[in-house]
Amino acid sequence: MHTPVILTKAFFISLFSFTALWAGAQKKKKTEQDHERFFRVGAIAAANINSIDGKSFTKDYKFNYQLGAFILINPITRIGIQPEVHFAQSTSTYSDDAGQIYDDLRSGNNQVKAKMDVIKLIGLVNVDIGSSQRVKWQVGPQWSMIINQNTGIEGNANEIFKKGDFSGVTGIWIQLPFVFIGARYEHGFTNLNNIDNRDTWRSRAFQVMAGVTF
């Protein structure tokens, strides 16, 4: 198992353990500060740890970045909605198996990296965990638009990925007085292969994030 995947899983286990301890502590000490505000805005910075499933790509995860902004609205005591917009960078490396499917996805005998710049539109539902309103489970859809893709292959049309990608997102959000931390997993449902149907390409990513709220 690759080191990035091991580190990511270790982080998620630690985060969920911390969440459980946090929620338990709130049962013993419940103050007015536990009540979430009706409206928040904020900014997000995240490590985007992504990969693309398919024989044409290696199975390892790549570390990239993601920046975004959000609005958090809590119309119901324990349920909120959170629309977000993000700019993200994703990379992947063509597999040695790609030559068996697409000869044009190779540059000589070298593996070639694909790079994408992506705008993500996310709509999340937040559900409070435990008695505190500071720990939230998040789930919702995501629509990603590829605004730039670079395969680096000479003579390639450079449009091997479809422009749009529909995904599902879930994660944990811990709201502190002025900042937050969290982690998410996103799973793509769209076949990103814009060449033909010989291989299916789907995106996957983990995000480890932090930011400020107002």
Domain boundaries defined on the chain: 3-213
Q: Output the furthest CA–CA distance in the chain (Å, rounded).
A: 65
**pLDDT number for residue 21:** 61
Q: What percent of the chain has pLDDT over 90?
A: 55
Distance, in Å, from the CA atom of 26 to the CA atom of 88, rounded to the nearest integer, reads 35
DSSP-based three-state secondary structure for 11: helix
Contacts of 21 (CB under 8 A, 6+ apart): none
Higher pLDDT pick, 115 / 111: 115
CATH architecture of the domain covering 3-213: Beta Barrel (2.40)
Distance, in Å, from the CA atom of 92 to the CA atom of 192, rounded to the nearest integer, reads 13
Hunting for tokens 């990511």 — which residue is that? 8
**pLDDT number for residue 106:** 63
| 31-40, 128-137, 201-210, range with greatest mean pLDDT | 201-210
